[in-house]
Amino acid sequence: MKFPAGAGHFPPRPGNGGNMYDLIIIGAGPAGITAAVYAARKKMDFIVITGDIGGQAAWSGDIENYTGYQFVTGPELVSKFEEHMRKYAIETKEGEEAVEIKKGPAGVAVRTTKGAYEAKTVIIASGKKSRELGVPGEKEFKNHGLTYCATCDGPLFAGKDVAVIGGGNSALDAALQLMRIARRVYLITNAPAFTGDPVMLEKVRASAAVTSMVNTEIKEIIGGKMVTGIRIKKDGTEPTLSVGGVFVEIGLIPNAAFAPEVDKNGAGEIKVNCRNETSVPGIFAAGDVTDVPEKQIIIAAGEGAKAALTAFRYLSRMR
C-alpha cells in the first residue's frame, strides 16, 4: 500500500464516511480479545483482524491457573472470551491475516490477505505459531499423522502409540491430554531434562501410559500414506519407534514478520515498554508476540487491556 504524498492522510475508506478507524487490533487471542473489549467500552471506532478466534489458548487442554476458574479447558475459556467480545457487536474480520503494516504521516496502513485498512493506531496481538522440527518427513506427513495441536487432533489417535516432541509446558500439556486417549505416549526431548511446570511433570510421570525420553534427537519421520514411526538418535544409536502419530511441541515463533518497522529482540518478539508502546509511535503490541516474560493466558489478557487503554490515551492527545 502506498501512502499519499504531502497531504498526510490516507485515501477515504468506504463505509466509514471517508474516515480512518481509531484503532485496528491484529489478532483475537486472549490479548486481542481483551483489547477489543476495552476499546469497545471506550467507544473507539475499531476493527479486529484475525485468522481465527482464540489463538494458542484454544489449543490448550486443562487450565488450572486462570483466576476465577479452578478448572477450565482452553476451548471453554476461549468460548467465554468470545461471548464477552460478541456482546459489544465488534466488527471482526475473521479468516483474514495481516501481511504488512506501515506507519504513514497520519496513521498506520494495514494490508491483509483479503484487503487493506487504515487507522490512527494499531495493536499487534498476533501471538505465536508452532515451531517446526525441520527434519525429513515433517512436511510430507503434516496432517497425515503429524500435527502441532493435541487439543485439535488428539481424539483422532485413540488407542494408538504416539510421540510428543518437546520438553516444556506445551509438550507436557499435550502428554496430559493424550495419555487419556492414546495407548502409549512417548514424551521425547533432546534436552537433558524436562523444563515444564513441576506440577504438570508430576502428573505425567505418574501415568503408566507415558514413557519419558531425554537426550533424544528426532532424525526423521517415516511412514507410507500415514506416519508409522520416527527414527531417533540416543546414546550413539539410531533406532526406530513405531508410532501412529507425532505431536510437535517444541516452542513457538512470534507472528511479527508483517511488522518490519518495529524493534524486535533476538527471538523475533516485539519490544514493548510497560505501556505496551513499540518503537513506532501509534503502534502498540500485547501478548505472546511481545518480549514480555512468561507467556501465560492471564498475562496476555492483562497486556491486551493495557494496550487498549494506552492507545485510547494516545488518541486523546492527538485530538
Nearest-angstrom CA–CA distance, 227 and 243? 7
- Provide the residue ranges of all domains of the chain, joining segments of one domain with +: 21-129+252-318, 146-248
Q: Which is catalytic among the residues 45, 62, 153, 197?
A: 153
Of 28, 56, 50, the C-alpha closest to 95 is 50
Identify whether 149 is a catalytic site residue: yes
Asked if 93 and 48 count as a contact pair (C-beta separation under 8 A), the reply is yes
| One fold for 21-129+252-318 and 146-248 | yes
**pLDDT score recorded for residue 73:** 87
CATH: 3.90.45.10, 1.10.150.120, 1.10.10.10, 3.50.50.60. Which one for 21-129+252-318? 3.50.50.60
Looking at the domain that runs over 146-248, which CATH code has it been given? 3.50.50.60
Kindly provide the b/e burial profile for residues 44-83, where b requires at least 16 CB atoms within 10 angstroms of the residue's own CB.
bbbbbbbbebbbbbbbbbebeebeeeeebbbeebbeebbe
pLDDT number for residue 130: 87
Q: Is 152 a catalytic residue?
A: yes
Q: For position 149, what pLDDT does the model report?
A: 85
Catalytic residue among 152, 197, 235, 291: 152
The pLDDT score that the predictor gives to residue 315 is 95
pLDDT per residue as tens digits for the range 74-86: 889 999 999 999 8
DSSP assignment string, 99-117 = EEEEE-SSSEEEEESS-EE
Each residue's pLDDT, cut to its tens digit, for the chain (319 residues) gives 343 333 234 344 444 444 689 999 999 999 999 999 999 999 999 999 999 998 878 777 778 888 999 888 888 999 999 999 989 989 999 999 999 999 998 899 999 999 999 999 999 999 998 899 999 999 999 989 999 988 778 888 999 999 999 999 989 999 999 999 999 999 999 999 999 999 999 999 999 999 999 999 999 999 999 999 999 999 999 999 999 999 999 988 999 999 999 999 999 999 999 999 999 999 999 999 999 998 889 999 999 999 999 999 999 998 6
Beta pairing partners, 221:
230
Q: For position 152, what pLDDT does the model report?
A: 77
Q: What pLDDT does 17 receive?
A: 46
- pLDDT digits 0-9 by tens, 36-89: 999 999 999 999 999 999 887 877 777 888 899 988 888 899 999 999 998 998
Q: Which one from 149, 197, 274, 291 is the annotated catalytic residue?
A: 149
